[in-house]
Amino acid sequence: MTTQLNQEVKNMLTSSCAFTGHHPMHFPFGYDEDDDLCLRIQNTMLMQILALCENGVTDFYSDCEVGPSMWGAELVLRIMERYPQVRLFCILPFEEQAKKWTPALRDRYYTILEKSTSNHLISTRCTNDCRTRCNRFLVDHAGFVIAVYENREVAQLEPAAHFISYARKKGRGIITIDPDTAFVTPIILKID
């Protein structure tokens, strides 16, 4: 029974990916998603998602946070028609996550939730640890991570830094997209 369970976990991890990245204010373009660099980053994310799909990844996990996680979710929704086996799971840190966002961002958020395969709520309210628990859930359910991230000193306190650190400890494949160039660092498997 244990061997079968281990194989099921292994299969789940090799067929799943989560998204993370810096908060938009850490990008040179901020919230301007029409900026050329932002469009290049999103295109690079799309190419990585498609490559993962072509190699058997079917399940994508997102916390739908503004920035790379939201972009990843929207990109997965775009390709679900071409890849009917692809699924999007939205893992939300707390119920009113989008309450203070702009109306346009809230509309995008609720559209993602409506079109996703399923949604899972970590906490009914914002707590000190709901984002950490959400990030751990995402990593625990994904074998790969697409991260729009650069390991800068200023970024070490960001949730994305903790996400990536935990993913490394768990031995997840991390595809890093540089937020200043949109260049990809191929999958890095590293156990700390």
Contacts of 111 (CB under 8 A, 6+ apart): none
What's the confidence (pLDDT) of residue 153?
54
- Residue whose entry in the numeric block shows the structure tokens 């929704």: 77
Per-residue pLDDT of the chain (192 residues; tens, 9 = 90+): 445 444 544 555 679 999 999 988 888 999 999 999 999 999 999 999 999 999 999 999 999 999 999 999 999 999 998 899 999 999 999 999 999 999 999 999 999 999 999 999 999 999 999 999 999 999 999 999 999 998 765 455 577 888 999 999 999 999 999 999 999 987 755 544
Predicted model pTM: 0.89
CATH assignment of 2-189, among 3.40.50.450, 3.90.226.10, 1.10.3720.10, 2.30.42.10: 3.40.50.450
Asked whether 16 and 174 are in contact (CB, 8 A), the reply is: no
Q: Are 92 and 121 in contact (CB under 8 A)?
A: yes
What secondary structure letter does DSSP report for 123?
-
Helix (H) / strand (E) containing 190: none
Spatial neighbors of 57 by CB under 8 A, at least 6 apart, are: 14, 15, 16, 17, 143, 144
Token digits of residue 156: 């070490």
Q: What is the pLDDT of residue 150?
A: 86
* Confidence at residue 191, expressed as pLDDT on a 0 to 100 scale: 45
Burial 59-93 (b: 16+ CB within 10 A, else e): bbbbbbbbbbbbbbbbbbbeebeeeeebbbbbbbb
What DSSP letter does each residue of 104-117 carry, written as one string?
Answer: HHHHHHHHHHHHSS
Residue extents of the structural domains in the chain: 2-189
Name the strand (E) or helix (H) holding 99.
none
Q: Under a CB-based contact definition with an 8 Å cutoff, are residues 68 and 22 in contact? A: yes
